[in-house]
């Protein structure tokens, strides 16, 4: 096994994981599929580049700002795409469609603001440091990506498991009506959940843009299917499952390139998804019928 390829897989996999964790959180707590999530990913990449290129921030200082911008977008998504439809009998499906519509609007606004061209961080904004790890070349940005993903995933895990807010989220996940009865402000929980989810998706987008130094309008669409694959592999509503699923997908892609051939990358990755759906439909970490966070 090649160490360089293993690390390549881990780095790209941790971005998939971070993206998928946000996806999963909304799905787990609110039982909604938020398809505006990939648009937040894209918006964050462009905003991050603007903060560095025009605002003069360092890439590290831009990340917390992107996190906040993502959170605000999450509130917008909740208010516009989900809140007005919440009482309807077909709220699941209606929310799915309205989030797609909102995603389209986000991308259209991006195109209006930035044009259709690929955007990049200024060449001098990255630290030149590269590290040698067991004979493999690793950049500072890549190390940061892995660390940030771990910190955010652990932080979210603690938030859900140990805090009052986390308890409200778990209660809402279990049964929104019952949660309301015992005094949980379900509207606030859903707004907070979407804000946290979008903040994570936004950081993933900015990190992705840093990792490959490019942001395109289509980048969210490209990762959307992978994010869905990851949450299916991980077990639909399981946060640890999304983390492991993301890393697995990244590794599967890389080792397909190494051992089978670059043309087979997507085929193998999505073939695995299909295999898991058939063999273990509840996913690697999921349990049947019981939803958890």
User: Which residues here bind other proteins, judged by CB under 8 A?
Assistant: 2, 4-5, 8-9, 11-12, 115-118, 120, 123-124, 130, 137, 139, 211-214, 216, 218-219, 222, 253-254, 257-258, 262-263, 266
CB 258 → other proteins: shortest distance, Å? Answer: 6
Distances in Å between the Cα of 36 and the Cα atoms of 31, 98, 104, 142 are 15, 9, 8, 26
CB 266 → other proteins: shortest distance, Å? Answer: 8
CB 6 → other proteins: shortest distance, Å? Answer: 10
Instruction: CB nearer to other proteins: give 214 or 282.
Output: 214
Compute the distance between CA of residue 27 and CA of residue 23 in angstroms, rounded to an integer: 6
Instruction: CB nearer to other proteins: give 78 or 253.
Output: 253
Compute the distance between CA of residue 60 and CA of residue 207 in angstroms, rounded to an integer: 10
Instruction: CB nearer to other proteins: give 135 or 183.
Output: 135
Instruction: CB nearer to other proteins: give 51 or 77.
Output: 51
What are the residues whose beta carbons fall under 8 Å from the beta carbon of 130, sequence distance 6 or more?
137, 138, 139, 140
103: Cα separation from own chain's centroid: 15
Among 231, 241, 250, CA closest to 5 = 250
CB 40 → other proteins: shortest distance, Å? Answer: 18
CB 68 → other proteins: shortest distance, Å? Answer: 25
- Label residue 17 exposed, middle or buried (CB < 10 Å: 0-12, 13-18, 19+): buried
Compute the distance between CA of residue 72 and CA of residue 199 in angstroms, rounded to an integer: 8
CB 8 → other proteins: shortest distance, Å? Answer: 4
Instruction: CB nearer to other proteins: give 86 or 114.
Output: 114
Alpha carbons within 13 A on the beta-carbon side of 183: 1
Instruction: CB nearer to other proteins: give 67 or 255.
Output: 255
Compute the distance between CA of residue 76 and CA of residue 136 in angstroms, rounded to an integer: 43
Helix or strand (DSSP H, E) at 130: strand 130-133
CB 100 → other proteins: shortest distance, Å? Answer: 20
Instruction: CB nearer to other proteins: give 11 or 285.
Output: 11
Q: For tokens 């469609």, what's the residue?
A: 97
């Amino acid at each position: 096994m090649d160490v360089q390829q293993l690390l390549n897989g881990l780095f790209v996999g941790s971005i998939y994981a971070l993206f998928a964790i946000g996806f999963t959180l909304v799905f787990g707590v609110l039982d909604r599929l938020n398809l505006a999530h990939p648009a937040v990913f894209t918006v964050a990449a462009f905003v991050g580049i603007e903060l560095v290129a025009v605002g003069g921030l360092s890439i590290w200082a831009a990340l917390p700002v992107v996190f906040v911008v993502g959170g605000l977008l999450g509130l917008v998504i909740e208010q516009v795409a989900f809140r007005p439809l919440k009482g309807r009998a077909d709220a699941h499906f209606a929310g799915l469609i309205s989030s797609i519509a909102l995603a389209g609007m986000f991308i259209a606004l991006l195109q209006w603001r930035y044009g259709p061209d690929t955007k990049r961080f200024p060449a001098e904004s990255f630290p030149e440091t590269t590290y040698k790890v067991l004979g493999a070349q690793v950049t500072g940005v890549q190390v940061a990506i892995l660390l940030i993903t771990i910190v955010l995933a652990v932080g979210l895990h603690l938030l859900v498991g140990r805090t009052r807010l986390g308890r409200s989220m778990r209660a809402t996940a279990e049964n929104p009506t019952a949660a309301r009865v015992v005094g949980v402000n379900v509207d606030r929980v859903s707004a907070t959940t979407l804000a946290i989810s979008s903040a994570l998706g936004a950081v993933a987008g900015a990190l992705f843009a840093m990792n490959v130094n490019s942001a395109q309008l289509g980048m969210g669409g490209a990762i959307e299917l992978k994010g869905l694959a990851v949450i299916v592999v991980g077990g639909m509503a399981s946060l640890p499952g999304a983390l492991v699923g993301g890393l697995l997908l990244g590794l599967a892609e890389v080792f397909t390139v190494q051992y089978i051939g670059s043309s087979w990358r997507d085929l193998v990755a999505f073939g695995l998804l299909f295999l898991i759906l058939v063999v273990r439909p509840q996913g690697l970490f999921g349990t049947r019928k019981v939803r958890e966070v």
